[in-house]
Amino acid sequence: MVDLRGRDLLKLLDYTPEEIRYVLDLAKDLKYKKHNRIPHRYLEGRNIVLLFEKTSTRTRCSFEVAGLDLGMGVTFLDPGSSQMGKKESIADTARVLSRMYDGIEYRGFSQEIVEELARYSDKPVWNGLTDQFHPTQMFADLLTIEEHLGRLQGVNFTYMGDARNNMGNSLMVACAKMGLNFTACAPKELFPEAWLVEEAKKIAAESGGSVRLTEDVYEGTKDADVIYTDIWVSMGEPAEVWETRINLLKKYQVNKAAMANAKKDAIFMHCLPSFHDEKTTIGADIAKRFGIPEMEVTNEVFESEQSVVFDEAENRMHTIKAIVCATMIDEPIDLG
107 is catalytic: yes
**Choices 25-33, 61-69, 164-172, 196-204 (CB under 6 A): range interacting with ligand NVA:** 164-172
Chosen residue from 149, 235, 282, 284 binding ligand NVA by CB under 6 A: 235
Active site residue 185: no
The pattern of x and - marking residues 253 through 292 that bind ligand NVA according to CB under 6 A reads: ------------------x---------------------
Rounded to whole angstroms, what are the CA distances from 76 to 85, 139, 244, 304?
15, 22, 35, 35
Instruction: Tell me if residue 212 falls in helix, strand or coil.
Output: strand
- Which of 234, 255, 304, 306: binder of ligand NVA (CB under 6 A)? 234
Task: Single out the segment in contact with ligand NVA by CB under 6 A; choices: 10-18, 109-117, 161-169, 178-186.
Answer: 161-169
Q: Nearest to residue 230, comparing CAs of 294, 275, 278? A: 275
Q: Does 231 bind ligand NVA (CB under 6 A)?
A: yes
Nearer to ligand CP, 16 or 57 (CB): 57
What dihedral do alpha carbons 107, 326, 317, 105 form, nearest 10°? Answer: -20
* 83 carries an active-site annotation: no
- Per CB under 6 A, contacts with ligand CP among 115-144 are 129, 137
What gap in Å lies between CA 7 and CA 32, rounded to an integer?
A: 25
Residue 316 annotated as catalytic: yes
Q: If binding means CB under 6 A, how many residues of this protein chain bind ligand CP?
A: 8
Under 8 Å CB-to-CB from 192, ≥6 apart: which residues? 163, 164, 168, 169, 172, 184, 200, 213
Catalytic-residue membership of 58: no
The answer to whether 69 contacts ligand NVA (rule: CB under 6 A) is: no
Q: Are 224 and 183 in contact (CB under 8 A)?
A: yes
The catalytic residue among 134, 164, 245, 318 is 134
Report the Cα–Cα distance between both ends of the chain, in Å, rounded. Answer: 9
- What are the phi and psi torsion angles at 48 (to 5°)? -125, 155
Binding stretches for ligand NVA (CB under 6 A): 129, 165-167, 230-231, 234-235, 271
Residues assigned a catalytic role: 107, 134, 137, 230, 271, 316
